[in-house]
Amino acid sequence: MKLGLMLGYSGAHFDLPIERIQLAEKLGYDTVWTAEAYGSDAITPLAYIAARTERIRLGTAIIQLAGRTPANAAMAMATLDALAGGGRAICGIGVSGPQIVEGWYGQPWGRPYHRIKDYVSIMKKIWAREEPVTHDGEEISLPYTGEGAMGVGKPLKSILHMNPDIPIWLGTGMEGTVKLTAEIADGWLPLGYVPETAPNYEPWIKEGLERAGKSRDDFSVQAMAHVNVTDDVKGALAQLKPNIALYVGGMGHKNKNFHKEMMIRRGFGEAAERIQELYLAKHKEEAVAAVPDEFVDQGALVGDAERIKKRFRAWEDCGTTGLTISGDEEALRLMAKVARLNA
């Protein structure tokens, strides 16, 4: 199984752990991933990483679909790929919740399924440079002819001869969008995907691939897990609970929270409702305490080397093609051995 290193987005102060990234490349990691929400962006750090590395692939997990037009996203990713020498960029795209889409990016929530479909189609047309780009979509069209348009928009072809094969991976989780991901994308960045629930997604993936006439070998599934090498399993799980409580309880509207919905799909519906109730009532410590150990343990690799190795076998056997990890240097080194990267 291929391994990736997750950097995420920055906190209050930007810090790029370039030595850890270079170590991951040396150890044989396949990818390094950045993210964005409403602070640091995901693409700029990858350009810097490209200049300080040689081989490791550069992925966004994810760029916010609402943050850029599809043309701007295609330009930025093609420029990154060219700076990195070609064939290293992976464009991971996702749709945040309506609070961020409309509150931060100032874009309409619209119909995410059709917005994703139009977005990906336009990007692929831009990279292909087969003809001036036009697109008559359900949510996005080029040239633009909607409210405020002068009606003189001209179809254009990119000046830069771009890599036409930049892979697009989508961050999705609901049945309709997972099927769409398998149909139109090269890979999937699943939310809350764990070995215990992996079989639930296989029929969706199969249907999407069949629509496009693709095989399972044409499609990547890159899950994510935090790694902590420790003898204190319970303490390690407790360290992860505040972030889970934040996302399940407060990252999104009460009636539209993807992280809460994911927790419910994984069979922890009662806990999800309780966490959100407590978090929105500003009882954050109680919300953290309400996160079940089992839920955390399913999505992480914590414990001593033998416990982590045993748990990793479940990830290898569940249909994922890659696992993106977050963790310190000890975690990176152990996972390289566990995944037999240099075997």
State the Cα–Cα distance between residues 22 and 250, nearest whole angstrom: 35
CATH architecture under which domain 2-227+304-338 falls: Alpha-Beta Barrel (3.20)
Distance CA 103, CA 125 (A): 30
Residue 252 has pLDDT above 80, yes or no: no
Tell me how crowded residue 211 is: count the other CB atoms within 10 A of its CB: 13
pLDDT at 87: 97
Does residue 242 have a cis bond before it (omega within 30 degrees)? no
The token duo for 342 is 């240099």
What are the tens digits of pLDDT across the range 201-219? 999 999 999 999 999 999 9
How far apart are the C-alpha atoms of 245 and 257, rounded to whole Å?
A: 12
- Give the residue among 197, 250, 194 at the shortest CA–CA distance from 226: 194
pLDDT on residue 343: 62
Give me the pLDDT at residue 305, please: 97
Number of C-beta neighbours around residue 49 at 10 A = 22
Our measurement of the distance from residue 151's CA atom to the centroid of its chain's CA atoms, rounded to an integer in Å, reads: 37
- Which pLDDT score, from 0 to 100, does residue 12 have? 96
> What mean pLDDT do residues 65-72 have?
98
Evaluate whether 86 touches 116 at the Cβ level (below 8 Å): no
Cα–Cα distance, 26 to 47 (Å, whole number): 19
Determine the average pLDDT of the residues in 58-77.
98
Query: Residue 27 carries which side chain, given as an amino acid letter?
Result: L
* Chain Cα centroid distance, residue 324: 10
The token duo for 341 is: 């990267």
Q: At what angle do helices 43-52 and 18-27 cross, to 10 degrees?
A: 60
CA–CA dist 70, 140 (Å, integer): 9
How far apart are alpha carbons 325 and 309 in whole angstroms? 14
Mean pLDDT over the full length of the chain: 96
Tokens of 124: 């692929």
144: tokens are: 């633009």
Q: In this predicted model, what pLDDT tens digit does every residue of 80-125 receive, in sequence order?
A: 999 999 999 999 999 988 989 999 999 999 999 999 999 999 999 9
Could you tell me the residue ranges of all domains in the chain? 2-227+304-338, 231-303
- Taking residues 251-261, what's their average pLDDT? 84
pTM value surpassing 0.85? yes
Q: Residue 31 burial by CB count (10 A; 0-12/13-18/19+): exposed, middle or buried?
A: buried
* pLDDT more than 90, % of the chain: 94
Q: Which two tokens stand for residue 34?
A: 């950045």
Annotate 108-172 with DSSP letters as a single string: ----HHHHHHHHHHHHHHHHHTSSS--EE-SS-EES--STT--S-------SS---TT--EEEE-
Residue 71: its H or E element = helix 70-83
CA distance linking residue 142 with residue 136, whole number of Å: 7
Report the distance separating Cα 161 and Cα 260, nearest Å.
42
Helices assigned H by DSSP within 153-304? 175-184, 198-212, 233-250, 258-265, 269-280, 284-289, 293-298
Confidence of residue 250 (pLDDT cuts 50, 70, 90): confident
Structure tokens at 211: 């629509």
Instruction: Specify whether the CB–CB gap between 324 and 268 falls below 8 A.
Output: no
Structure tokens at 189: 């960045």
Contact 311, 233 (CB under 8 A): no
Average pLDDT over residues 318-336: 97
